[in-house]
Structure 1
Amino acid sequence: MTTTPASAPAFSFAAIDHVQLAIPPGGEQQVRAFWGELLGLAELPKPPALAPRGGCWFQGPAFQLHLGVEQDFHPARKAHPGFHIRGLRALAERLTDHGYPVTFSDEVPGQDRFHTVDPFGNRLEFLEPYAMSAN
């Protein structure tokens, strides 16, 4: 069901700036290997005031991914970011080759998609709308 506000708000959403996922203490090398080396995102330096907290930040094409240390870490098994990908099947093969599970789903019409997990069990979704894969 779609709802429409009674009056237009004086603001609008422009884009997602970043997504944050939790990692356990000491997990920085594993996320660098996964997000940086395996998936090819560039690591960003954290602002000096935040660096002592640990974790890592990465830059995507139109977003940032922040991996923050959580002392009492529990992986997100339901909540997840969804990333549009060009070359989804090649990514699935790369993840599988590196031992990550890939579970495809056809439940959402118009897109090829799968779920996997990061090194700590956080759920991730990667999808490619059929119109993107045709280009």
Structure 2
Amino acid sequence: MSSISSRAARPHSEDSSVGELLSVVTSDVQTLFRQEVELAKVEVKQEATKAGKAAGMYGGAGFAGYMVLLFLSLAAVLGLANVMDGGWAALIVTAVWAVIAGVLYQRGRTQMRTVAPKPDRTVETMKENAQWARHPTR
């Protein structure tokens, strides 16, 4: 920021050549790009920190949900064991969980195929910015 503000405070003389002025503009654009990248890094770091905390909370909720399902499954096995052999009751509850796991796996796999590995819009705007920086008068 200091390089831009110090140049802005210096008036350009009327006899400055177009090349010198273009050099100043190019330098300012490069500085602006660097500062934008720095700002993006800071913003990404802040958002990653918030996301990490939220992920920790989701992890805790997931573990609590796992414990609920574990004890609910145990209760189902014990309830079925009142009307049939305990081994068969456990096998039935296990089969239900196997079907649920298969369905969730398939849905997750289908959804994962739609994920784009790179930020397409950002890449496109950065290309446009670079093209403008090379040819600012177009």
TM-score by length of 2: 0.16
Larger radius of gyration between Structure 1 and Structure 2: 2
Query: Whose strand fraction is larger, Structure 1's or Structure 2's?
Result: 1
Higher RCO (C-alpha under 8 Å, 6+ residues apart): 1
Q: Which structure shows the bigger proportion of residues in helix conformation? A: 2
TM-score by length of 1: 0.16
